[in-house]
Amino acid sequence: MSRRKRRRRGKKIIVPVASMGDIAFLLIIFFMVCSNFAKEAGIPVEPPRSIEVEPVEESRFSVSVDADGNIYYQGRKIGSAKALESDLAEALKDVKTDKGRTVQFKCDRTVDKSVFEPVMDAIAAAGGRIAAVGEKAKKRKK
């Protein structure tokens, strides 16, 4: 019985931690590649609301107009609708599919139509397909 009570004093288990940094680095790279980064994360836009909003398909291109009327293409500020048209036309010139030409358009609800209409015209003139972004509104009770 005395033999059973004696505990074995074995060697300590050594866990190899040298490769943990490599594994963490590879995981970070994996998640960066697999995730979608918000192109216009810092642009404050309050989209218009409508009852008839449908989901927008994923697009490679994005154009935003903030409450001050500033135009952003792919998250960077553009001076005018004409500059947007030339930049977008350059980006779209090699796109073959109609679906690949979709441009996600976000506009603040307070912006006047005299500001956002030239932007929409520029997207169309560059050969883009406009997918406007809005929020779902609650149905009104009659």
Taking only the tens place, the pLDDT of each residue in 56-115 is: 666 778 888 888 888 898 888 888 889 888 888 888 888 777 777 888 888 888 888 888
Domain boundaries, the chain: 49-136
pTM, whole model, 2 decimals? 0.60
Q: Interior CA angle at 122 toward 118 and 73, to 5°?
A: 100
Q: What is the CATH number of domain 49-136?
A: 3.30.70
CA distance 23 to 56: 36
